[in-house]
Amino acid sequence: MDRDQVLQLHIPEPKHRPGELADFSHLRLPLAGEIRRPPIAASAYEIRDLAYELIRVLDDEDRAVGPWAQPLEPAFLLRGLRAMMLTRAYDERMFRAQRQGKTSFYMKCTGEEAVAVAQACAFECGDMFFPTYRQQGLLIARDWPILDMMCQVYSNSADRLKGRQMPVFYSSREAGFFSISGNLGTQFSQAVGWAMASAYRHDRHIASAWIGDGATAEPDFHYALTLAAVYHAPVVLNVVNNQWAISCYQGMAGGDESTFASRGIGYGVPALRVDGNDFLAVYAATRWAAERARSNLGPTLIEHFTYRAAAHSTSDDPGRYRPQDESAKWPLGDPIERLKRHLVAIGAWSDAQHAALVAELDETVRETGRRAEALGTLNAGPLPDPASMFEDVYKEMQPHLKRQRREAGLEPGGTPRPAEGA
């Protein structure tokens, strides 16, 4: 040891910044089909290598190969393709609506569609989702009407959340889609609680939660892993590593030191690391984890290795912190394009059919958008009733809230609010 050596602080920095060319050649990407598929009863320790690998099914010739490739009906895959494409078309439309002032805020999941859509397809009806703001694909894959989603984004008269939540913070009990949290990470512990309640009642349903690479630094990520491991909770915990957390690259959350999947090993939670842009790999890994959970074998942590192709939100400009060409250079391609090419390769789909579906979905979204806008947008048209904002604060309306509603003049025959005490 050099006694004269002074201590130095390490601040992680992304490899490339704006003005430079992106380069992902440092990534070690196993080939499709290369990674083993262990039995679901394997322990975290026995399959620890999988936390550092990358499960891939679609190869460079668009074939589904290896032990994770499962025989799946083309019709099933086409449903997945369609849900991913609808998600993308919906995102495009709502992003534009924000630019037109029809909503205050929007967040796209472009490039990450396979994560939510393939996973929704892998779970069963009645399984409960605890997503982040970037898993709108779960709702779409469960055939939840995009009209309802648009009304939420517009906070309009038909918004089931009554104008209370930020745009994209959907919540649907019917669709098994928990209320989106503004404070990152909280859904992770809540999902474990839901799963434990399901086990407590000897039910058959399992839960799943999602968290971003950045938010794995929040305590709830670690709380959830601890409790899920201790109680063998029937839950599938997902880290969506899309490389960025607003302007911070995944290294800021410790991703350069070890993979996010490997976090699970220390807690004794079996972990898989998956090509998040490969619909078939995401689907297969999720089926594996769901089967584990349903067989009382406990939780699984899955890291989905993907790329946030769009800005963080409508308030963000990635040109300030990452190379312009980074998205184009992403080595794992685009999830929609890859599934489409696979379907073409197996003779279940064609370029012409694909183009027709793009046009059809664009028209669906446009037409639905018109209907949603007729029900109101951020500042125009029919809006939620202000009197309703005093409701639901508590299960039963409290006397002091009734009084405040009256004082605010928000009851029939009320007068505008005077100062208290006057």
Ligand X SMILES: Cc1ncc(C[n+]2csc(CCOP(=O)(O)OP(=O)(O)O)c2C)c(N)n1
Work out whether 1 is an interface residue with other proteins (CB under 8 A). Answer: no
- Residue 61, classified by CB atoms within 10 Å of its CB into exposed (0-12), middle (13-18) or buried (19+), is exposed
Work out whether 166 is an interface residue with ligand X (CB under 6 A). Answer: no
Q: Please say whether the dihedral angle defined by the alpha carbons of residues 400, 406, 410 and 411, taken in this order, is positive or negative.
A: positive
- Decide: helix, strand or coil at residue 309: coil
Q: Nearest 5°: phi and psi at 373?
A: -65, -30
CB of 296 to Mg ion, least distance (A): 32
Work out whether 215 is an interface residue with other proteins (CB under 8 A). Answer: yes
Near ligand X by CB under 6 A, which window of 71-79, 237-245, 254-262, 297-305?
Answer: 237-245
Query: With CB under 8 A, what is the number of residues at the site for other proteins?
Result: 55
The smaller minimum CB distance to ligand X, of residues 208 and 368, is found at: 208
Near ligand X by CB under 6 A, which window of 75-83, 243-251, 259-267, 278-286?
Answer: 243-251
**Spatial separation of the C-alpha atoms in residues 115 and 70, rounded to whole Å:** 17
CB of 72 to Mg ion, least distance (A): 29
Interface with ligand X (CB under 6 A), residue from 148, 213, 275, 373:
213
Interface with other proteins (CB under 8 A), residue from 163, 270, 298, 335:
163
**Measured CA distances, 165 to 131, 171, 220 (Å):** 15, 9, 22
**Spatial separation of the C-alpha atoms in residues 359 and 357, rounded to whole Å:** 5
Near other proteins by CB under 8 A, which window of 9-17, 28-36, 256-264, 331-339?
Answer: 9-17
- Decide: helix, strand or coil at residue 360: helix
Work out whether 321 is an interface residue with other proteins (CB under 8 A). Answer: yes
CB-closest chain residue to ligand X: 212
Q: Please say whether the dihedral angle defined by the alpha carbons of residues 165, 167, 169 and 170, taken in this order, is positive or negative.
A: positive
How close are the terminal C-alpha atoms of the chain, in Å?
Answer: 75
**Measured CA distances, 312 to 181, 249, 295, 299, 315 (Å):** 16, 12, 37, 29, 8
Q: Which of residues 287-326 bind ligand X (CB under 6 A)?
A: 308, 312
Interface with other proteins (CB under 8 A), residue from 1, 9, 125, 328:
9
- The 10 Å Cβ neighbour count of residue 46 is 12
**Spatial separation of the C-alpha atoms in residues 219 and 183, rounded to whole Å:** 11
Interface with Mg ion (CB under 5 A), residue from 172, 208, 242, 286:
242
Look at residue 134 and give the partner it binds from other proteins, Mg ion, ligand X, none, a contact being a CB closer than 5 to 8 Å depending on partner kind.
ligand X
Contacting positions for ligand X (CB under 6 A): 132, 134, 182-184, 212-215, 240, 242, 244-246, 308, 312
Contacting positions for other proteins (CB under 8 A): 9, 11, 13, 104-105, 155, 159, 162-167, 169, 181-184, 214-215, 217-219, 245-248, 252-254, 315, 320-321, 378-379, 383-384, 386, 388-390, 393, 400-401, 404-405, 408, 410, 416-422
